[in-house]
Structure 1
Amino acid sequence: MATQSDSTKRPICTTCSKPKRTCLCGRFPSRSIENSVALTILQHSTERKHPLNSARIAAIGLKNVDLVTVSDVNSESRFSVEFPETMAPPGRSSSISGDVRNPIPQNAAFSISTASYGAIISINDWILPPKYKQLPLDQLLGSMNSSNGFAVTKLQRISSSEGTATAGYEEIKQFEITVPPGSVLLFPTDRSVDIEAIDFQVKSMIVLDGTWAKAKRMYNENPWLNLLPHVKLNLEKASLYREVRHQPCPDYLSTIESIVYAMKALGGDQHSDLDGLLDVFESMVGDQRRCKDERLKKISGKPD
């Protein structure tokens, strides 16, 4: 379905957000993939309308996917983290072999207030046993076994009357996410391990979508992500992005490429179906390449 864009006056598809002449919807298989590993994409707010954003392909091509918009913390944010009533069995490994964390008590909950780029303002322990209360944030998060899942809510502080003499602030709910048992974060950090090293069944995966600078900022500004086992891909592949979008390193992949390769590594889904998503991505990159060539020809005055 297409609608008229106010800014460009071009018909825009309301499903894939691409101009009608480069609409992606007809390039997918007739039915979305029933992915066995649930997917949550944390998408930076500036990425949603980018012409080369690849998360849209996952959102259309996969059934079990949630897309959550995340904005930068420009003033202050508060994250409320709550754990389910059931306790993890004592000594249970939360992620990779040898990573044994402390079981979380029933109904545990706490909140974290942060400033820009992840600076910690305060930690409020609503329901935590004494042994947790004096820990620095990294140790607090690192000591917890989150294998039973948890829920997180982000409240963003914004100016309620910006530019007036009585400027004030209010909190708005930006997102509320339920992180199910068996979840991992796909993101390369010092603590990330190869995805093949996981020794438990992954049921859900969180992915960050944005430029590498924005993705790193999202990671730093969402400290609750440290509750999750971190995994990374160990591939020597050049991204299809390389010709049309700047990548910091040749082996850095787009969001959809990372998702497809991670799901292949975890198993449970048909590889040929997942490869179909890469075909759609490759065609989108081809569209952008042609548009770029057309613009250059117009500037240079060369005929087709």
Structure 2
Amino acid sequence: MSRAQCPRCLRPQSHCLCELIPQLDSRTRVLLLQHPSEVNHALNTARLAALGLKNAELRVGETFDDLDVLLNPPGYQARLLFPGDDAQLIETPSSSEGSQPWLLVVPDGTWRKARKLLHLNPLLAQLPRVTLAPGAVSRYRLRKAPGPGALSTLEAIVQTLDILEAPHSFTPLLRPFEALIEGQIAAMGHDTFQRNHGQT
């Protein structure tokens, strides 16, 4: 028999994260486009981001029929958070820049699945790309990152918003993420964690 599930955070009721999820305002609007394979992932950090940000929306699918509408909300300029040769480094906006806030479009999935989302949705590939500075370190200690600067979707959003909306901090969004990681470490046992994931 399956365990009762929280309908909001989709975690088992015994491990519900809702008390840790903040409700943060942001000038930036965040649109998360999640590949269906990520929905049942143990962490599902895109859902945590969508729940913790009032100005965010989560859509699940491989293609999105209303993408043109989603990418053009009145008063915003869309940017795709995804690395690429033409991606601009995200920097703190200067007062001289345009006052129009960003619609930050974030594909959520493995790198292969995220690239597939861009391939299947040409409107995404046409957006101006932005990326974070290299060298960021993920807090996800249970998985070896595929390369330097590889962050979870939630971590990438937090770092981006911290830059765009400084000095406002979006670190509270990471609380449920860190609780999930601590829960996984506790479930495997400290010795097992140290043996498999401890620093050498």
Q: Distance in 2 between matches of 1:266 and 1:216?
A: 25
By how many angstroms is 1:226 displaced? 2.8
- Residues 202, 235 of structure 1: alpha-carbon distance in 2 compared, 3 angstrom cutoff: farther
What residue is the counterpart of 1:293 in the other structure? 189
Mapped pair 1:177 → 2:70: yes
Find 1:236's aligned residue among 123, 128, 135.
135
Gaps of 5+ in 1: 1-7, 72-76, 81-150, 154-175, 298-304
What residue is the counterpart of 1:189 in the other structure? 84
SS in 2 for 1:208: strand
Matches within 5 A, 1:115-134: none
Bigger proportion of residues as strand: 1
Task: Choose 1 or 2 for highest CA Rg.
Answer: 1
Bigger proportion of residues as helix: 2
Q: Distance in 1 between matches of 2:71 and 2:89?
A: 25
Q: Distance in 1 between matches of 2:167 and 2:30?
A: 13
By how many angstroms is 1:233 displaced? 0.2
Find 1:63's aligned residue among 54, 65, 77.
54
Give the TM-score taking structure 1 as reference length. 0.56
Asked if the contact 1:38–1:203 (Cα under 8 Å) also holds between the matched residues in 2, the reply is: yes
Larger relative contact order (Cα-Cα within 8 Å, sequence gap ≥ 6)? 2
Q: Which amino acid aligns with 2:85?
A: D
Deviations 1:170-212 (A, max 9, x none): xxxxxx6242341111100111010118754433110011112
By how many angstroms is 1:12 displaced? 0.9
Q: Distance in 2 between matches of 1:35 and 1:197?
A: 15
How many residues are paired up? 186
CA RMSD in angstroms comes to: 2.5
By how many angstroms is 1:269 displaced? 7.0
Gaps of 5+ in 2: 194-200
SS in 2 for 1:179: coil
Provide the identity percentage: 35
Asked if the contact 1:58–1:256 (Cα under 8 Å) also holds between the matched residues in 2, the reply is: yes
